[in-house]
Structure 1
Amino acid sequence: MRMPLLLLAAVLGGTALVPAAADLPAAPATAPVRGPIVQMFQWPWDSIAQECTSFLGPKGFGAVQVSPPQEHVVLADAGYPWYQDYQPVSYQLRSRRGNREQFAAMVQTCNAAGVQIYADAVVNHMSGTGSAGSGPGSGGSSYSKYDYPGVYSDADFHGCRRDIANYDDKWEVRNCELVGLADLATESEYVRNTEIAYLNDLVGLGVSGFRVDGVKHLPPEDVGAIFGALQDVPGTGAKPYVFQEVIADGTTTAGEYAGNGDVTEFAYYGTVANAFKNGSLAGLANLPDQMPLPSEQAVVFIDNHDTQRSSPTLTYKDGVAYDLAVAFELAYPYGTPQLISSFAFDNPDAGPPAAADGTTEAAGCDNSAWVCEHRRTIIAGMAGFHAAVQDAELTGWWDNGNGQIAFGRGDAGFVVINREGGELSQAFQTSLPAGTYCNVMTGELSGGSCTGDAVEVGGDGKFTATVAANSGVALHAGAKLG
């Protein structure tokens, strides 16, 4: 994260002691879903439930990353900014997006639609200096910095009570305060067990995984002890999927945390987003060789809620260039793709559309205040492409040395992307079986016909197409007529 529950006694009382690091089970590597993860940033629980049933499940999305579900500060004087949700004051499930009952119903509904829920977990810190005196929290809890009645007291926080000044000092990064946020002593057995109880509460409701916020500010062994001690997801026999936000630098590497689960690969966002912004795509041919993490441990993205605001190389505001970059992310076989569906903003601190008391209004794609990137034609079509090609190998890479590329995914799919200002017209060699395919960048297979363009692949695996400027063609076996 970058930005300017009270637990029931019965829950805490039933928490097992933290096991030794050597005894921790290995976290699953790569997301256990076919479709991509989509971060439904700041969407309320009822709206996510509806979207899982009406769109995300049917279109092949695999999981939703939801915003932090725990009670948080309420910053009315600052206009209820987005980042208030990343300042916990307790672990009860009552945020501006809904209450415990609504959260549980959303998880159940999405799971039934074939869409897993991954919760954004804030375990490094509690509230900050900037929220002092703003209480109560979103669930009505009273608190002050370093004192959260029934949860944490002064002794549960690190003694370095100043902002991180030197990011070259790993001790300081992990023990001092990130922009004034009370830094939890996660090496403490009590703190670990309190967080494990909260996370297991979410797992018990059917949450299948976690995105872990601000991981570079935590020692790897603390992350491993907390998330390695989680119970199995009900009905699966599997541990929750874990992916960790690590903004690597010269002091902290993503690889330090790979033993705990997957890691967000910020180098990918820099490389791919810049290539599509500049229109020079040929250099992406050997993308894995440019990445610090192996594919099976990387979670990749074109933008997320932080980069949209702090370093917006490409966002929804960039139109088709953004859509094509996401299409590439969903087509090229590197990493687990994470998308975002966000709300429109001009002020980087602005929160989501809200009522007068700061509670989030219902999200919906018929309201222009919600961007709904996941419903854009190219992105929605490529979610199904990603689900269809899965582990098929990269084949037949072609490029013109600049902004036009094409490649296959074995005999399961084929993609052409034209990021240049002129048409691309030629024959393409694929490994696809002969037949008529829907170009899922322009529509879908519905009722036995294509709602967008149709492409004929011959018996030799070739097809000829004229690809307009800043557009593409994507064919896969799941969108083949007949």
Structure 2
Amino acid sequence: MFLTKLSVLATLLALASAQFSPNYKDGRNGMVHLFEWKWDDIAAECENFLGPYGFAGLQVSPVNENAVIGGRPWWERYQPISYKLTTRSGNEQQFASMVKRCNAVGVRTYVDVVFNHMSANGNSRGTAGSQADPGSKSFPAVPFSTLDFNPTCSITNYNDPKNIRNCELVGLRDLNQGNSWVRDKIVDFLNHLVDLGVAGFRVDAAKHMWPADLAVIYGRVKNLNTAHGFNAGAKPYIFQEVIDLGGEAISKSEYTGLGAVTEFRHSDSIGKVFRGKDQLRYLVNWGTAWGFAASDRSLVFVDNHDNQRGHGAGGADVLTYKVPKQYKMASAFMLAHPFGTPRVMSSFAFSDTDQGPPTSDGSNIASPRFNSDMSCNNGWVCEHRWRQIYNMVGFRNAAANAQLQNWWDNGKNQIAFSRGNRAFVAFNNDGYDLSSSLQTGLPAGTYCDVISGSKSGSSCTGKSVVVGSDGRANISIRQNEQDGVLAIHVNAKL
């Protein structure tokens, strides 16, 4: 019996083995999490900004009906009432239109899916008007009944995998993914999203579900919809929320055979480095040597919607928009380095960690407004619209598959490297100026530094860098400059 179970799991893992590609359009790389944006606003953002500036994809907040909670905290989106596609972000028709419009301009959509649990006791009214009784585990709009849930218990012991996976996370009613009816409803939900043209899923709370159950579910999800421009046979890209900083009973390695994982060690480590707790020179072996999962199994990020609020993992070392210079440097490094599949965070401003998105009336989400420099206002931060970040998405696209070469450091907190002969970046996190002749790997010519400015015709709105016939250039980053980064690439040649 044991051997049979192992062979079945091996087969299911093989079925899921194609789910490591993000299904990006050729020439594009990098996604952004448009946290709590409305579907109509995202569609316009794809057409007006994400598409033109080379973004490859976007992650959206949960799309299915959630509990309506007093004060409208952001986390109500993680308390499902049903799998109807109606939330404060919009209805199913608006979501379907958004996905279609974004695909049309080369920007793929990844849905944050929540199927570990349903809503907690007391949260019974949904955004689509459905009613539930979490106290008796009754969710008729699915429908789920008490037969579909694990016995009531609380997660109290993170050294016990059974407690973590079979009990309730902060009172949320814990679904039994080993139940065939539960699997059917989850698969129907995911397949409906595939039909609508999504490219993949972020699986919320994956650590709290058994890998063997997830293997069955993933193995039953349809191939991507070719009507939306995906290749025949392409599988959804799956990245699973598995918080693993080491020392716990559950390891991300239990999930990397099924899909990518959200690599929290990347967020924790990059925060420590650019806060000055580790030296930049140590980044020379950035990647699996730091304890990360393999590159194609790692969804990497500087911060996410949880840990920027102190939840999840990383604590005070996590960098957020509230420390902009270090945040831009860390984001630039993530986008310049070839490791992993990077995701940029796009936030709304908050002072209270429960605070929901900006609203027009206390309930309906307000649309972002844009300044003359393309940055956001009206309560939205929009890090993806910061020049130092969107221009580094262009840098990553220009670098393509070129390998990391020409590493240089000063033995402390000044580093530089090239991506083959296509792109070059330098960082200064020391308390004094960087001024050195460095090998850029680039062809001779004059290049626009895409951190301090942008290429505009044959000129640059920021600093220019002259590369000689030997590939070397005089690189200068003063310690008191607004940005501690300089970046040039072949598409920014003047």
TM-score, normalising length: structure 1: 0.92
1:171 matched to 2:166? The reply is no
Q: 2:258 aligns with which of 251, 257, 260?
A: 260
Map of 1:352 onto structure 2: 357
Listed one character per residue, the Cα deviations across residues 241-286 of structure 1 (whole Å, up to 9, x for unaligned) are 1111100142111111011111111111111111001162111111
Map of 1:59 onto structure 2: 53
Cα deviation, residue 189, structure 1 = 1.1
Listed one character per residue, the Cα deviations across residues 332-364 of structure 1 (whole Å, up to 9, x for unaligned) are 121111110010001000000124362211133
Code of the residue aligned with 1:287 in structure 2: it is W
1:193 matched to 2:184? The reply is yes
Distance 1:328 1:22 in 2: 33
Change (3 A) 1:110 1:19: farther
Listed one character per residue, the Cα deviations across residues 80-105 of structure 1 (whole Å, up to 9, x for unaligned) are 00000001100111001111111111
Distance 1:22 1:420 in 2: 46
Between 432-441 and 276-285, report the one with greater CA deviation: 276-285
Between 449-458 and 266-275, report the one with greater CA deviation: 449-458
1:246 matched to 2:229? The reply is no
Code of the residue aligned with 1:341 in structure 2: it is S
Distance 1:272 1:141 in 2: 43
Contact 1:44 1:363 in 2 (8 A): no
* RMSD (Å) for aligned C-alpha atoms: 1.7
Contact 1:407 1:414 in 2 (8 A): yes
* 1:60-79 alignment runs, 5 A limit: 60-76=54-70, 79=71
Contact 2:43 2:102 in 1 (8 A): yes
SS at match of 2:335: helix
Distance 1:442 1:56 in 2: 20
Contact 2:30 2:342 in 1 (8 A): yes
Distance 1:308 1:477 in 2: 34
Contact 2:81 2:124 in 1 (8 A): no
Map of 1:437 onto structure 2: 447
* 1:262-301 alignment runs, 5 A limit: 262-278=260-276, 280-288=279-287, 289-301=289-301
Listed one character per residue, the Cα deviations across residues 271-315 of structure 1 (whole Å, up to 9, x for unaligned) are 111100116211111112112311121111110001101125210
Distance 2:17 2:11 in 1: 13
Map of 2:173 onto structure 1: 182
SS at match of 1:327: helix
Contact 1:30 1:297 in 2 (8 A): no
Distance 2:220 2:458 in 1: 48
SS at match of 2:256: helix
Cα deviation, residue 180, structure 1 = 0.3
Distance 2:69 2:380 in 1: 22
Cα deviation, residue 182, structure 1 = 0.5
Contact 1:27 1:259 in 2 (8 A): no
Contact 1:27 1:260 in 2 (8 A): no
Name structure 1 gaps, 5 residues minimum.
Answer: 1-17
Contact 2:13 2:215 in 1 (8 A): no
Cα deviation, residue 325, structure 1 = 0.4
Contact 1:46 1:102 in 2 (8 A): yes
Map of 1:338 onto structure 2: 343
Contact 1:27 1:242 in 2 (8 A): no
Listed one character per residue, the Cα deviations across residues 366-425 of structure 1 (whole Å, up to 9, x for unaligned) are 424100101111111101111111221111111112221101111111100112232211
Listed one character per residue, the Cα deviations across residues 42-100 of structure 1 (whole Å, up to 9, x for unaligned) are 11111111111111111111100000000000112xx1000000011001110011111
Change (3 A) 1:442 1:189: same
Code of the residue aligned with 1:335 in structure 2: it is G
Listed one character per residue, the Cα deviations across residues 11-68 of structure 1 (whole Å, up to 9, x for unaligned) are xxxxxxx997367342322423232111111111111111111111111111000000
Change (3 A) 1:22 1:246: closer
Name structure 2 gaps, 5 residues minimum.
Answer: 1-8, 371-375
How many residues are aligned here?
A: 458
Change (3 A) 1:167 1:22: closer
SS at match of 2:470: coil
Distance 1:142 1:319 in 2: 43
Distance 1:226 1:38 in 2: 26
Contact 1:27 1:228 in 2 (8 A): no
Cα deviation, residue 218, structure 1 = 0.5
Listed one character per residue, the Cα deviations across residues 170-200 of structure 1 (whole Å, up to 9, x for unaligned) are 0110000000000000011111110111111
Distance 1:93 1:203 in 2: 13
Percent sequence identity over aligned pairs:
45
Map of 1:234 onto structure 2: 225
SS at match of 1:285: helix
* 1:411-450 alignment runs, 5 A limit: 411-450=421-460
